Amino acid sequence: MKHTDEQIKDELYAIVDLGGRVRNVMVNHRVYGHIEAILNVDSRRKAAEFIDDIRSGKSTPLKNITSDYHYHVVEADSENTLDMIEEALEEKGFLLEQEEWEKELLQNRDLS
């Protein structure tokens, strides 16, 4: 995924409005490696709370350390729902392919 801070609401609403849950946010940093944080956003209310926390200055989005590039685990009750979410995010221009160095990083990271 890639988008601006101002588009976070649009991204999250696109997912939850179609019945999805944003389980986490992940970035792959060339120096720090793989970084992940739990979100558990499954409604507009939770999305709005998350956005309010960001806008209040509590912190900045994790995606900012990788020039807006980030990933989410998105869950839903069916493959059809996931397909609709993917299509909506694609239409908004948020989806990107993983780069080769990121694939290698994930394959080589210690999962123990």
For position 50, which CATH number holds?
3.30.1340.20
What local confidence, expressed as pLDDT, does residue 110 receive?
56
71 closest CA partner among 47, 106, 45, 43: 106
Name which of 26, 104, 30 is nearest 71 in CA terms: 26
> Would you tell me how many other CB atoms lie within 10 Å of the CB of residue 39?
18
Q: How many domains does the chain have?
A: 1
pLDDT in tens, 66-93: 999 999 999 999 999 999 999 999 999 9
Whether the model clears a pTM of 0.95, i.e. scores above it, the answer is no
Instruction: Write out pLDDT tens, residues 31-80.
Output: 998 999 999 999 999 999 999 999 998 889 999 999 999 999 999 999 99
Domain range for 24: 5-108
